[in-house]
Amino acid sequence: MRLKYDPPRYLLFSSNGRMGPPPAMRAFPAAFFTLVLTVLVGVAFALYLIFRSLKDHVDEADRVISELQRGNLKARFPTGRNDEIGKAMERFNHMAEEIERLMEQLRSVERSRAFLLQELTHDLRTPVASLSNLLETIFSQVKMDETIADLAELAQKETDYIARMVEDLLLLAQVSEPSYRAQQGAVDLDALIEEEGDALSLRSQGRVAFEKSTSLEEALVPGDEHLLRRLFRNGLENAFSFARQKVRVSLASDGKGGLVIRIQDDGEGFSPEMLITFGERRTKRKINTGRAGRLSLGLGSVIMKTVTTLHRGELRALNDRGAVVEIRLPAVALNGSEKDSV
């Protein structure tokens, strides 16, 4: 290499024939790449471990929540962690323990209530039946003036009401039990409704006519015949009580594999309040103008709704030239599908 001097000077280098950066500089890119790759692999592995840990916690949470949804209130998270997740699990376990305690108290109260109600209704059956027989004997064997006869007739009606209420309360207590299971069988609603309607028409001594129409070859529903008979008996009795001249019942397919049954009278129809509260328990007795001014708690509609719900059906009240009670029930399955014939 020539240097700027006068006279000129030269700088000589000794080389082994290889030109380029020193070995340390040549190794730097490889070392940097290795370092970056190591960092990326470490970060990816750490993220994988975090993901696996979170996934395990999510799976555990899903398992515990699923157990709680199935009714196992003793399901808990495993404890022992000292981090925030462990603290959250402990708080959840405390909450689950409190819920279990409250639910057990509710179950205990409900069991006591149901037991008391059943005992009470059983104990009332005998004296009410005796009182009813006594009144019937007085009517048949004792001559009374008009005032006393009216009072005795009122006493007989109230006794009949109490007897019916006792039966209603006993039925509600039985079907409200969580362990209650209705008997299952294929029930012919066409024949059942015709039997109940004809009996009520005969009892009314011709005052109210009964008509039934159906567009079905068969009207079979799965369920408990005793409960279904009670359902339609209550609906028909209510219709006969308020009808002027006629009660109509129609059975048809709902087009969705079920049946729709309409019980219609030609009376004044439901009041606006009754349309909203039909099927709900009342806390006060009300005068039932369709039954000679007799007071009623409305347990008949409560039983209808309870039985309909037990059979996976729907119940509603509406007005259409009189009062209408519409009941929808699933039909008996034929060849794996719901019956749907018109």
CATH number at 204 reads: 3.30.565.10
Q: DSSP label at 244?
A: S
**pLDDT (tens digit, 9 = 90+) per residue, 198-246?**
888 888 887 888 988 888 888 888 888 888 988 998 889 888 888 888 8
Q: What angle do CA 153, 301, 243 make, to 5 degrees?
A: 60
Q: Name the β-bridge partners of 112.
A: none
SS3 224: coil
235 and 306 together in one domain: yes
Has residue 36 been placed in a domain?
no
258 and 223 belong to one structural domain: yes
Asked whether the predicted pLDDT for residue 286 surpasses 70, the reply is no
Backbone torsion region of residue 228, taken as left when φ is above 0, otherwise alpha when ψ lies between -120 and 50, otherwise beta: alpha
Q: With respect to residue 27, please indicate whether it lies within any of the assigned structural domains.
A: no
User: Does one domain contain both 145 and 226?
Assistant: no
The number of distinct structural domains making up the chain is 2
Residues 78-85, mean pLDDT to the nearest whole number: 72
329 and 195 co-located in one domain: yes
- 3-state SS of the chain? CEECCCCCEECCCCCCCCCCCCHHHHHHHHHHHHHHHHHHHHHHHHHHHHHHHHHHHHHHHHHHHHHHHCCCCCCCCCCCCCCHHHHHHHHHHHHHHHHHHHHHHHHHHHHHHHHHHHHHHHHHHHHHHHHHHHHHHHHHHCCCCHHHHHHHHHHHHHHHHHHHHHHHHHHHHHHCCCCCCCCCEEEEHHHHHHHHHHHHHHHCCCCCEEEEEECCCCCEEEECHHHHHHHHHHHHHHHHHHCCCEEEEEEEECCCCEEEEEEEECCCCCCHHHHHHCCCCCCCCEEEHHHCCEEECCHHHHHHHHHHHHCCCEEEEEECCCEEEEEEEECCEECCEECCCC
Q: Which pLDDT belongs to residue 292?
A: 41
Q: In the prediction, which pLDDT does 262 show?
A: 92
- Secondary structure class of 97 (helix, strand, coil): helix
CATH of the domain at 169: 1.10.287.130
Percent of the chain with pLDDT over 90: 5
The pLDDT score that the predictor gives to residue 27 is 63
- Domain ends where: 128, 156, 180? 180
Mean pLDDT of the chain: 78
In the predicted structure, residue 15 carries a pLDDT above the cut 70: no
- Do residues 227 and 301 share a domain? yes
Range 267-282 average pLDDT: 80
- 251 in Cβ contact with 219 (< 8 Å): yes
**Residue 119: inside a domain, yes or no?**
yes
Which percentage of the chain shows pLDDT scores above 70?
82
Is residue 235 located within the same domain as residue 98? no
102-110 average pLDDT score: 81
Report if residue 95 sits inside a domain. Answer: yes
Residues 90 and 212 in one domain: no
- pLDDT reported for residue 293: 40
End-of-domain residue from the set 138, 154, 180? 180
DSSP, residue by residue, 107-121: HHHHHHHHHHHHHHH
Element at 220 (helix H, strand E): strand 220-223
The answer to whether position 20 is within a domain reads: no
Task: Let me know if residue 253 belongs to a domain.
Answer: yes
Between the two ends of the chain, the Cα-to-Cα distance in Å is: 112
Residue 207 within any structural domain of the chain: yes
Q: Are residues 211 and 321 in the same domain?
A: yes
Residues 146 and 243 both lie in one domain: no
Whether the model clears a pTM of 0.85, i.e. scores above it, the answer is no
Is 270 inside any structural domain?
Answer: yes
Q: Worst-scoring range by mean pLDDT, 18-22, 118-122, 139-143, 202-206? A: 18-22
164: domain range? 76-180
293 in the Ramachandran plot: left (φ > 0), alpha (ψ -120 to 50) or beta? left
286 secondary structure, DSSP code: E
Indicate if 174 and 219 belong to the same structural domain.
Answer: no
In this prediction, residues 65-71 reach a mean pLDDT of: 79
Using DSSP, state whether 53 is helix, strand or coil.
helix
Residues 136 and 271 in one domain: no
Residue range 19-44, pLDDT digits in tens: 556 665 566 677 777 888 888 888 88
173 has pLDDT over 50 = yes
Judgement on whether residues 332 and 189 belong to the same structural domain of the protein: yes
9: number of Cβ within 10 Å: 10
Task: Please name the amino acid found at residue 192.
Answer: L
Among 180, 202, 235, residue at a domain's last position:
180
Element (H, E) at 4: none
